[in-house]
Structure 1
Amino acid sequence: MDGSSAVVVGGGIGGLAAAIGLHRIGWQVTVVERASTLEDAGAGISLAANGLRALDELGVGEAVRNAARGQYSGGTRTPRGGWLARMDGSALERAVGTPIMGIPRSTLHRLLRDSLPADALLIGTEADSLQQVSPGTVRVGRSGTVLEADLVVAADGIGSAMRGRLFPAHPGPAYSGSTVLRAITEHPVDPGTDFELTWGPGAEFGHIAFPDGRAEWHAVLNLPAGTRFADPLAELRRRFGTWHDPIPALLDATRPTAVLHHDVHELRTPLPSYTAGRTALLGDAAHAMTPNLGQGACQALEDAVTLAAALATAPTVQAALAHYDAERRPRGQAVARAARQAGRMGQQLSHPVAIALRNTAMRLTPSRAATRMILRHHAWVPPRLR
């Protein structure tokens, strides 16, 4: 299907990855992004082996690895600093060929954009309509003009307007019960480890170390949706200031204006399909999940490679989309369920007895067993792109 065309709605990680994959198989691609300026909002991200393998297939894996820091040391702790589980990044690397890598989101976005033709990205443009105009053509309205293509990729995030048009009976995203504040430190710090999570009653604090010495931190709290603070950094110092080092130091190294605050939503009701007509849903638009497994972006990258590979080999777009849905929907929805369960047994636990039982179970779990649990999600092998 060389010479075919696609419109990708959404210029986030999943949308850019899908555009790269389609471009690599010979398609003409236009990415429509409603943001008028690409500020690369977000803090940091961890990429597991499955996401990195997808990036390798897209041709950007080496560049991403060179800009990222491997997570070899760290683990999960209690607020006083006691270890519940230690990370063995070297064992994980031996098992799957790579450690988990930490990278600023802005860097990942830039590397993905740089892999596309300069004229492929239309910013400040909202896709405000979607119409199947013939058996082989889809029309996307955007800011008074129309784009026609053989395929539309809906990668417009958790609040996807495209998903709403395609599945109007679906209830849409649901609040997870948790809200997250995050930032990148203003200057280099020494957090002591590459990656950590600390679990307290209904709260989590974690960090990711970057190659330039700075670190991303995040704080997750069980709070009603819409809760906001007049001084977020001061509120976090109040809640986490007595937790173990380096948590107070990470907060002290952060500019107050750098703190981002978002409620965590998910698609708790699974979609009946990841496709409709000549439209494929991808990333958060298809399977928005809680961040408790660090798999949201990795699943979007898997989606992108799987979609491109199907379109490269299937005889028709319809056959390719059927294959994409059969491959991606069971896995994406299973990972979303696992992420939800991980949150309930991790950060969201608040009852002292339940926390004590969980902590004891974690301390007694052998490191090999913990590695095997991780491999359930990381040990994914991408289809080849020609």
Structure 2
Amino acid sequence: MRIAIVGAGIAGLVTAAGIQADGHEVAVFERRDEPNPVGAGLTLFNNAFAALDLLGLGDSIRQISRDGIVSGAIAAMRPTRNGPKVSWLLSVPSSATATMRSVHRVALHRELMAQLAPGTVRTGSAALVAADGTPQVTASGRTEQFDLVVVADGLRSRNREILGLDTGLRYAGYTAWRGVTEQPVSFAVQPGEIWGRGQVFGMVPLPDARVYWYATRNTAEGQRVDNEYELVREEFSGWHETVQECIAVTAPDAVMRHDIYDLAKPLTSFVRGRTVLLGDAAHAMTPNLGQGAGQGIEDAATLTCLLRDAGGRMLRDASGEALDAALAKYSQLRQKRTSSVLRRSRSAGLMAQAEHPAAVGFRNALTRLMPPQVMSAMTQRLQQWPKPEL
């Protein structure tokens, strides 16, 4: 088949690599002149690697990522007369995070691009789809016909709107800063996530011993300052010394700020005609479970497997019923899975960002009372990718 993919982010590139390896002709349309990723680091869990392995990409991604990063530790930050104090709330057993790996987005993007045939990605091409799902793409004033169109153009997907599938975006109530240190950090506190009142600070070591960090703060949406680096330093100036060190050894111009959004409601379908959504375009979620990229990778593997399974029938069936059936099954499987993860991620964000003293006290007490085995079981269930039954 001839397949168009709109968007050269992680989900789009994994899809391109998977279906191109199966012998399909692939064209990736990327609106930016240089398809450089926006972001710092990310974590990939067992479910992502199960999907990557099925596409033959797992080993190459493991080579550029780091394992054994954290044990799932969560701590609380509170001021005392003798200075700020960190107290542990929960530490997930290592068995639940044994397969978790960290990777810099730039390294991941570069590796995925290297998997594609030269000329696959067309940069500077802002592509729009047909409203009725006809498999065609219009870019730079030219309309091309395909057998299938895959939309992977992110959180603010214009094509999701064109297809009439959009449910709108919801501001999560907090903003996030992200950065990567320029040098290793001496951890005086275990890497993981620290919760304050309406604030969170997370630390994830990267393969080259630098640290990817993220910081959040409850605030009105759309707020910006000229110097975000100084603002985040000020916001976390009373926090643990390791937190302050992470920020201090990060280049000021490398600190990024993004307000956090997810879909207002899960989509009821990921398919319109012969056009299909995946990644953030289909199920944008808050980052609280670290599953944004992982769910997009699951999408890519699910779609690739279903197309692979339907391949013989599509050759024999000129009506296209086999392809339509594969797309319907993709939508059913992925809508069910991602809707659950989206809701769980939103709930986790509400807990982590609690700000009222009573809510914070209740949250901390409840977290301390949770048996590690329960958290471990919940984490492991989340990381079980329900592979498509072909």
Shift, 1:45, TM fit? 0.2
Deviation at residue 131 of structure 1 after TM alignment: 6.0
| Cα separation, 1, equivalents of 2:102 and 2:186 | 15
Which residue of 2 is the match for residue 379 of structure 1? 384
Residue 345 to residue 58, structure 1, CA distance change in 2 (3 Å): same
Are the aligned partners of 1:131 and 1:140 in contact in 2 as well (CA < 8 Å)?
A: no
- Say if 1:153 and 1:282, in contact at 8 Å, map to a contact too: yes
Q: Does 1:336 pair with 2:305?
A: no
- Counterpart for residue 127 of structure 1: 127
Distance in 1, matches of 2:249 and 2:187, equals 11
* CA-based RMSD: 1.8
> Retained in 2: the 8 A contact 1:72–1:99?
no
How big is each residue's C-alpha offset from its partner over 1:163-211, in whole Å with a ceiling of 9 and x where there is no partner?
001016x442221111111011122223357741111111101111012
2:75 equivalent among 74, 77, 93: 77
Q: Distance in 2 between matches of 1:327 and 1:237?
A: 43
**2:187 counterpart of 1:191:** yes
Which structure 2 residue ranges, 5 or more long, are not aligned?
78-84, 314-321
Q: Could you tell me how far apart the structure 2 residues matched to 1:116 and 1:45 are?
A: 22
Equivalent AA in structure 1 for residue 110 of structure 2: R
Other-structure match for 2:116: 116
User: Does the CA-based 8 Å contact 2:136-2:144 persist in structure 1?
Assistant: yes
What are the superposed Cα offsets for residues 199-246 of structure 1, whole Å, 9 maximum, x if unpaired?
A: 111110111101211111111111111111222122122221221131
For 1:277, the aligned partner's letter is G
Shift of 1:383: 4.5
TM superposition score normalised by structure 1: 0.92
Quick check: 2:149–2:274 contact (8 Å CA) kept in 1?
yes
Alignment partners' CA distance in 2, 1:62 and 1:298: 16
Per the alignment, residue 105 of structure 1 pairs with 105
Instruction: State how far apart, in whole Å, the 2-side matches of 1:279 and 1:74 are.
Output: 38
Say yes or no: does 1:32 pair with 2:36: no
- 2:327 partner amino acid: L
The 8 Å contact of residues 185 and 242 in structure 2, kept in 1 or not, is answered as no
Where do 4+ consecutive residues of structure 1 move more than 6 Å? none
Percent identical: 38
Residues 1:352 and 2:357 are matched in the alignment: yes
In the TM superposition, residue 15 of structure 1 has moved relative to its aligned partner by 0.6
Once the two structures are superposed, the pairs formed by residues 1-386 of structure 1 within 5 Å of their partners are: 4-70=1-67, 71-73=69-71, 75-79=73-77, 80-89=85-94, 91-92=95-96, 98-130=98-130, 138-167=135-164, 170-191=166-187, 195-314=191-310, 315=313, 316-346=322-352, 348-383=353-388
Q: How far apart in 1 are the matches of 2:124 and 2:76?
A: 44
The alpha carbon displacement at 1:74 in A equals 5.5
- Give TM-score, length-normalised by structure 2: 0.91
Q: Which secondary structure state, in structure 1, belongs to the residue aligned with residue 367 of structure 2?
A: helix
Q: Structure 1 pair 277/343, CA: closer, same or farther in 2 (3 Å)?
A: same
- How far does residue 41 in structure 1 lie from its aligned partner after superposition? 2.1
Between the aligned partners of 1:345 and 1:250, the Cα distance in structure 2 is: 24
Structure 1 residue identity aligned to 2:138 = G
Q: Deviation digits for residues 90-128 of structure 1, max 9, x if unmatched?
A: x125xxxx4211110111111111111111111111103
Q: Is the 8 A contact 1:194 1:209 kept in 2?
A: no
Read off the aligned partner of 2:20 and give its amino acid letter.
Answer: H
Q: 1:334/1:384 Cα in 2 relative to 1: closer, same or farther (>3 Å)? A: closer
SS at match of 2:202: strand
Classify 1:26/1:113 alpha carbon distance in 2 versus 1 (closer, same or farther; 3 Å). Answer: same
